[in-house]
Amino acid sequence: MRIACGVFDGVHRGHQALLSQKPDVVYVLPSPSKLVLTTAEEKQALLTAYAGPTAHIEFVDQLPGHSSSEVLSVEPVLYGNLPISSERIRSALLAGRIEEAEAMLGYPYTLYGEVVYGRQLGRTVGMPTVNLKTADEKLLPAHGVYGTITIVDGIRYLGVTSIGPRPTVDNLPTVTIETFLLHFNRELYGQHISLELKTYIRPITKFESLEAVRQKVDEDVLYVMGKNLL
């Protein structure tokens, strides 16, 4: 029996190299971090995708006894001449280095969650936003404005996403995930969607009015359109 074991947080390119050996069993250990790159549900889906549908995936608190000859291993996968690790990816995200995180993951860092009601202030200036609620344990990147792709019913929409507090609206420390979608005007409340982070644009800024926010977002939109993210 071929065994793969580890925390597998992020299921990054290093993990993928191990899983490409098609283990029979994958033992998943608890993450030592309170904030994770992948929730248990996300990790299950990624492990199945990379190890194959016949692999048995089991979440355990400690490894069961087995022969060391059964445990698969691979040489470290490098990025920037250093081994890829979940900690390096976490550090890149917290610094807003989104492209670097994606290069190490092998796929875009993605936030999954339910669309919830916000204060709907953006509508007053012709800028309705989609508010996303993610799992509490999901690591969010550095506060800022990002070029993103939102996936709704299998269709990919370009957008501009603000992650962090809203200093123009209030002085609360509450972190929100708000996306202005291009060419989209449907109601999504209650639906579960995916949000791919593609590029960092700028820090969170306090403006004198919502109209000023709208003008800046228009500039952000032009920027992401020029990046050809789709």
Distant-in-sequence, close-in-space partners of 165: CB < 8 Å, separation ≥ 6:
143, 172, 173, 174, 175, 176, 204
Beta-carbon count within 10 A of 163 CB: 23
Q: Which domains does the chain have, with CATH numbers?
A: 3-105 (3.40.50.620), 109-226 (2.40.30.30)
- pTM of the predicted protein model: 0.92
- Dist. CA 211–CA 126, nearest whole Å: 9
- Parallel, antiparallel, or unpaired for β 176-181 and 192-202? unpaired
Banded pLDDT at 212 (limits 50, 70, 90): confident
Cα 35 off chain centre by: 12
Distant-in-sequence, close-in-space partners of 22: CB < 8 Å, separation ≥ 6:
2, 51, 52, 54, 55
CB 143 within 8 A of CB 175: yes
Give the tens place of pLDDT for each residue, 90-138.
999 999 999 999 999 999 999 999 999 876 554 444 578 899 999 999 9
Give the tens place of pLDDT for each residue, 35-94.
999 999 999 999 999 999 999 999 999 988 776 678 999 999 999 999 999 999 999 999
